[in-house]
Structure 1
């Protein structure tokens, strides 16, 4: 028996799930931005209680590795690593975009390609392209979307675009083989299924050295000085 606790914090939705040998036995989630730090521990406690278990019965922790929200990933991974270290159990990581694609795989009766997208601001998204059997066609990338994006693949295949980065691309990716699905967010329910597959293969992370896959560096912009503000205004004349 493999009892796995899964944590998904890559986007605005924070979710937790418990799987027993890949079968979902409990789940909890919060659809509220910037709530991960205060609610993740609460959701873990809820799922554990619903399942009638205790933390010391967990065999492994699975966590979304990214890409996604810098803060959300940091909270999820640090929580997962802390639990693994305290309980002496292995850590499993799963790519967030793989989680999202897995969620649509069973519904993909048209056998279209799958392109999960996470918003990366402006016209940029974190994305990855899979065929209908979940074989990777394009690696994870931070992609600026224009009217030529995915053009070669769209000429040959239908593609389902989904995730919180997909809606802003509807008016740009204008092709008869492009289809957009709303309201798809990464879920710990799918994460746990993939986590169980890695558990069986003993594919674990180093609890000490593992870091989230941010894809892009997190940049902190320093506030401009009063002198710089004045200089910027003068330069406009």
Structure 2
């Protein structure tokens, strides 16, 4: 990915054309928000597996506004406690399954399986 991104960046620079970068986490959040009923009432938390008990994650509103910036998170029962205390949080992505057993007692935590990044959501 880095080599491809560097090649695209070099071509765009040489040809004086803009390069538009899209965050995978934000694209995932928008993808799920678009297919979720009552999306305005919750926050969206894409989680990408980073091995062991870590994920790359962020938190967004239904319209893509960033609440928690993209960051690596070490998962434990206190992870995202502030958001879970006041909001319904929908977690998804290939790292969300690691977080689910840590917050089973929190009724604000919801999980969605089978979500993979799709270029279709980027174009919408």
Structure-1-length-normalised TM-score: 0.47
What residue number does 1:92 align with?
20
Q: Which runs of 5+ in 2 are unaligned?
A: none
Q: 1:83 to 1:107 in 2, by over 3 A?
A: same
| 1:30-179 equivalences in 2 (<5 Å) | 73-81=1-9, 83-84=11-12, 89-110=17-38, 111-174=41-104, 175-179=106-110
**How many equivalent pairs are there?**
121
SS at the partner of 1:94?
coil
Structure-2-length-normalised TM-score = 0.84
Higher helix share: 2
Give the conservation status (yes or no) of the 8 Å contact 1:149–1:173.
no
Structure 1 residue 75 displacement after superposition: 3.5
Gapped regions of structure 1 (runs ≥ 5): 1-72, 194-237
Q: C-alpha separation between the residues in 2 aligned to 1:167 and 1:76? A: 30
Larger Rg, first or second structure (1 or 2): 1
2:121 pairs with 1:190? yes
CA contact (8 A) 1:108 1:132 kept: no
What are the superposed Cα offsets for residues 70-96 of structure 1, whole Å, 9 maximum, x if unpaired? xxx314313423553576532111111
Write the deviation string for residues 34-55 of structure 1: whole angstroms up to 9, x where unpaired.
xxxxxxxxxxxxxxxxxxxxxx
Q: Using the TM superposition, give the Cα deviation of residue 191 of structure 1 relative to its aligned residue in structure 2, in angstroms.
A: 2.4
Kindly report the root-mean-square deviation, in angstroms, between the aligned alpha carbons of the 2 structures.
Answer: 1.9
